[in-house]
Amino acid sequence: MKWLPNLISLLNLFLGCVALVLVFQGMAFLASILVFVCAALDYLDGAAARWLKAGTETGKQLDALADLVSFGVLPSAIMFTLLMDASHRVKPDQWHFVFPFVAFFIATASAWRLARFNVNEQDDNWFSGLPTPANAMLIASIPFVLHQVQESRPVHMALTWLVNSQPALLALVGILSALLVSRLKMFSLKMTRLGWRGNELRLIFFGGCVLLFFAFGLSAAPLFLFFYLFLSLLGQLVGWIRSSKPVQG
């Protein structure tokens, strides 16, 4: 049973490789579904390691390697195909087929993020920079929503404009890459204990995602990240206000 967390990490890695093949065969929708499956597996391997008390240095490194493929290289590949499609809609020039390779800035930023996490991250409640699974799920939600949501929905219309605009996609790559390597504090979604106390932001996030889903259906998927960023900033603000209150004598 103590091998279970590592087996889950290996399954995450395997499915990430499968999804890469699907992307380059023109099946980005199926690949985006596998991104969400990999995210669930990434959550489970950590939970299994804690429950079984089976955390090891090997498991930690294996988890990072699997995450680099599933949440670094794979979302870069999805973004590369989006940029390639968008490049065919602009006036050809000497940079016509160069810009899509900018998508792999996401993979390099993810590698830096994961390496820094393995070396420096100590706080189980807060991360430094955007977690790679959250970034990957945002990118994966683009082909997922475009495939599943009616064209009349505002989110579908906004994403359609995004994928048709090479400058907008390049700007998105830059923003996400910067968030990955930033020092901005993001709360962890992993619950180490049950109950409200200590899990306030996590439970509010999960509850808010449920409400967004019921309100907007599948088109709510890209909104989850923005809600996550908002709550992370709100949590930091509340923590700063509490720490700045004068001690009453």
Q: Which residue has the tokens 């008390």?
A: 53
* pLDDT of 236: 78
Quick one: average pLDDT of 160-169?
Answer: 89
The more confidently predicted of residues 134 and 125 is 134
pLDDT at 83 over 70: yes
* pLDDT of 244: 60
* pLDDT of 67: 94
Q: Is the dihedral of CA 29, 33, 36, 41 positive or negative?
A: negative
Q: Provide the strand spans (E) within the chain.
A: 126-128, 185-187
Per-residue pLDDT reduced to its tens digit, 180-195: 999 888 888 776 667 7
Q: How far is CA 86 from the centre of its chain?
A: 22
CA nearest neighbour of 207 among 226, 237, 227:
227
* pLDDT of 160: 87
Neighbours of 119 (CB within 10 A): 7
Backbone Cα Rg of the chain = 19
pLDDT at 51 over 50: yes
Per-residue pLDDT reduced to its tens digit, 150-163: 777 788 788 888 88
Q: What is the mean pLDDT of the chain?
A: 86
CA nearest neighbour of 99 among 46, 166, 20:
166
pLDDT at 149 over 50: yes
Per-residue pLDDT reduced to its tens digit, 213-245: 888 887 888 888 889 989 988 887 777 666 665
The token duo for 79 is: 């973004």
* pLDDT of 103: 96
The more confidently predicted of residues 127 and 2 is 127
Question: With bands split at pLDDT 50, 70 and 90, how would you rate the model's confidence at 175?
Answer: very high
* pLDDT of 19: 97
pLDDT at 205 over 60: yes
This model's pTM is above 0.75? yes
* pLDDT of 92: 64
**Structural domains of the chain sorted by starting position, each given as residue range(s) with its CATH number in brackets:** 4-194 (1.20.120.1760)
